[in-house]
Amino acid sequence: MEAIKILILEHDPYDIDLLKRELTRGELNYESVVADNKQDFVHELKNFRPDIVLSDYSLPSFDGFTAFKITKELAPETPFIIVSGTVGDMNAVDLIKMGVTDYALKEKIYQAPPKILRALKEAKERAAKKLIKQELIDSEERYRDLFHLSPIPMWVYDPQTFVFLKVNEAAIRHYGYSQEEFLNLTIRDIRPSEDITMLEEDVNESKRTKNYFQKVYRHIKKNQEIIYVNIESNVVHFDGKEVRLVLATDITERTKHIQAIEEQNKKLQEIAWMQSHVVRAPLARLMGLINCIKEHPDTNQQLLNHVLSSAEELDKIVRGIVSKTDNVKIDQKNELESFSDR
Amino acid sequence: MSLKVLVIDDDEIFVFLHNLLVQENGISSGPIGFENGKTAFDYLNAHDNPIDHYLILLDINMPEMNAWQFLDSIQDKPYANRVLVVIVTSSVDQEDYEKAKEYSQIIRYIEKPLDHNACRQIRSMPVIEPYITS
């Protein structure tokens, strides 16, 4: 074990000697520095960084109680033991009440080593507890940040009352309601009225299963804009209640893009269908007519008229396809423009 | 045994051309044309004779009754197993080709235009040849 670093505040060389001998006899592995005035005491407190302070109660230019207050200020975790010549200096109980770790009388100086060990042991335990508490606080903060600073809207609601219990900053930003407004709403209030029955059924079902839940819903923002949202939720415990933590990802743009692509696909399919059915009909007729004319060089005017009308029909169809294709392009352009408005 | 040839197509030019090809290739001297499945179906129901066998050149896309509706309609008729069908279509749609496989009457699937070569092949098919008299 490392040597215990002891700062001794004492002016009497005899008392110092006595104390050190007692510490050695108590088989303490220690190193020490001695101060006998305020300036030295403060200096050693900062530089020597003692594990424990042993202080006389009254000194010519300084006093133990002031030294205690300074220690409390500069090194609050360091145990502080008063080693006093007389009982009458100050009531030991009062000193302990004010936060002094312990009290030893010079005439019973043999008590000092066990008191030092006990004080150090308690200080160590206190430090460990404090560390655990700090870690708990840190981890709570991390999780709070994870919730509050998540870029995706999140909230917690009570499945019994549907009330919002907590909302994060992204939700406030995305939906346009302030935190206060949100906490006065229920999750019904951000849905189109025709979707509420479905919502209530889903919530009741999830209350029963307590599982992870995922579904796409329509939500209404404060400005009445309707958005498509992918909802994912899980059961969490909040203020002793079983509630649901919700992650709400806005997929409106994605949904609109898909709709636009599906719409366009349909038009392209129509064009493909025209290619295979409508265009092929007059073309096949032309080919058939030409075959026939080839076989019958003495062909009559009527067959040639059929050739011409088939060619004209084909021309009309091709023009139709061109304008249909143009429509696809225009729609595409409109879609892009409407997206850039948003 | 006689083979009656029916040409069913909503495009009168094809009816004309197919009639011509059927005659020139000696498949039939008197093919009968119909403008859609419905008129042909009505004709068969009214004029069927148990000794008659039919070769039908059938277009797919037609108003009133298309090829599939026509084929579905004849399945429970007494002449159903005396009908042989050659699909003659301007469609190059794979879906139509696959659908044609569902009907036992269909012996051939031809993309328009029908020509002499195709007619000669039809004529020499084992199911057709016995009917050819010349």
DSSP line for A207-235 = HHH---EEEEEEEE-TT--EEEEEEEEEE
Asked if A306 reaches chain B (Cβ–Cβ under 8 Å), the answer is yes
Inter-chain touch A277–B113, beta carbons under 8 Å: no
Quote helix, strand, coil % in chain A, to nearest 5: 60, 20, 20
pLDDT score at A300? 73
Q: Cβ atoms within 10 A of the Cβ of A279, count?
A: 19
Inter-chain touch A292–B17, beta carbons under 8 Å: yes
A322 CA: distance to closest CA in chain B (Å): 20
Task: Assess contact for A41 and A10: CB atoms under 8 A.
Answer: no
The answer for residues whose C-beta is within 8 angstroms of residue A273's C-beta and 6 or more apart is: B93
The answer for residues whose C-beta is within 8 angstroms of residue B117's C-beta and 6 or more apart is: none
A291 CA: distance to closest CA in chain B (Å): 7
Distance of alpha carbon B3 from the chain centroid: 11
CATH fit for domain B1-87, picks 3.40.50.2300, 1.10.10.10, 3.30.460.10, 2.40.50.1070: 3.40.50.2300
Task: Assess contact for B4 and B53: CB atoms under 8 A.
Answer: yes
Structure tokens at A263: 């719409």
pLDDT score at A339? 47
pLDDT band at B132, cuts 50/70/90?
confident
* Contact residues on chain B for A284, CB-CB shorter than 8 A: 90, 111-113
- Whether the ipTM is more than 0.85: the answer is no
Residue A80 DSSP SS3: strand
| Beta strands A226-238; A52-55: pairing state | unpaired
Q: What is the CATH number of domain A151-250?
A: 3.30.450.20
Structure tokens at A276: 């295979």
pLDDT score at A332? 55
State how far the Cα of A63 lies from the Cα of A59, in Å rounded to an integer.
Answer: 5
* Contact residues on chain B for A272, CB-CB shorter than 8 A: none
| Closest residue in A to B114 (Cα–Cα) | A288
Name the residue with tokens 């069908």.
B85
**pLDDT (tens digit, 0 to 9) for every residue of chain A, 342 residues total?**
689 999 999 999 999 999 999 999 888 899 999 999 999 999 999 999 999 999 998 888 888 889 999 999 999 999 999 988 775 656 777 888 888 999 888 888 888 899 999 999 999 999 999 999 999 998 888 888 889 889 999 999 999 999 999 999 999 999 999 999 999 999 999 999 999 999 999 998 888 887 889 999 999 999 999 999 999 999 988 878 889 999 999 999 998 899 889 988 888 888 877 777 778 888 888 998 888 888 887 767 888 888 898 899 888 888 887 777 776 665 555 555 554 444
Distance of alpha carbon A11 from the chain centroid: 57
Asked if A308 reaches chain B (Cβ–Cβ under 8 Å), the answer is no
Q: Which one, of A243, A245, A246, A240, lies nearest residue A217 by Cα?
A: A246
Task: Assess contact for A95 and A63: CB atoms under 8 A.
Answer: no
Residue A12 DSSP SS3: coil
> Which strands make up the sheet holding A102-105, listed edge to edge?
A30-35, A4-9, A52-55, A80-84, A102-105
Of A280, A285, A306, the CB nearest to B91: A280
The answer for residues whose C-beta is within 8 angstroms of residue A63's C-beta and 6 or more apart is: A57
Torsion of CA A156, A162, A165, A171, to 10 degrees: 60
pLDDT score at A1? 65
pLDDT digits (tens, 9 = 90+) for B65-77: 999 999 999 999 9
CA pseudo-torsion sign A261, A267, A269, A275: negative
Inter-chain touch B112–A292, beta carbons under 8 Å: no
Inter-chain touch B93–A288, beta carbons under 8 Å: no
State how far the Cα of B128 lies from the Cα of B118, in Å rounded to an integer.
Answer: 13
- Phi then psi for B48, rounded to 5 degrees? -65, 135
Of B20, B24, B90, the CB nearest to A280: B90
pLDDT score at A282? 87
Structure tokens at B76: 């429970």
pLDDT digits (tens, 9 = 90+) for B24-57: 998 988 899 999 999 999 999 999 989 899 999 9
Asked if A310 reaches chain B (Cβ–Cβ under 8 Å), the answer is yes
The answer for residues whose C-beta is within 8 angstroms of residue A93's C-beta and 6 or more apart is: none
B-interface mutation test, from A270, A286, A287, A317, most B Cβ less than 10 A away:
A287
Report which DSSP code applies to B12.
H
pLDDT digits (tens, 9 = 90+) for B83-120: 999 999 987 778 889 999 999 999 999 998 999 999 99
State how far the Cα of A54 lies from the Cα of A116, in Å rounded to an integer.
Answer: 9
| Closest residue in B to A293 (Cα–Cα) | B17
B-interface mutation test, from A269, A285, A305, most B Cβ less than 10 A away:
A285
A-interface mutation test, from B9, B15, B88, B90, most A Cβ less than 10 A away:
B90
The answer for residues whose C-beta is within 8 angstroms of residue A56's C-beta and 6 or more apart is: A9, A10, A11, A12, A15, A64, A82, A83, A84, A85
Looking at domain A4-134, which CATH architecture does it have? 3-Layer(aba) Sandwich (3.40)
How many A-B residue pairs are in contact by the CB < 8 A criterion?
49
Ordered alpha helix ranges (H), A48-168: 64-74, 92-98, 112-148
Inter-chain touch B90–A306, beta carbons under 8 Å: no
Report which DSSP code applies to A58.
B
Q: In chain A, what are the domain boundaries? A: 4-134, 151-250, 254-340
Q: Which one, of A106, A48, A60, A53, lies nearest residue A77 by Cα?
A: A53
A288 CA: distance to closest CA in chain B (Å): 5
DSSP codes joined into one string, A181-208: HHHT-BGGGGS-GGGHHHHHHHHHHHHH
Structure tokens at A258: 């898909």
Residue B10 DSSP SS3: coil
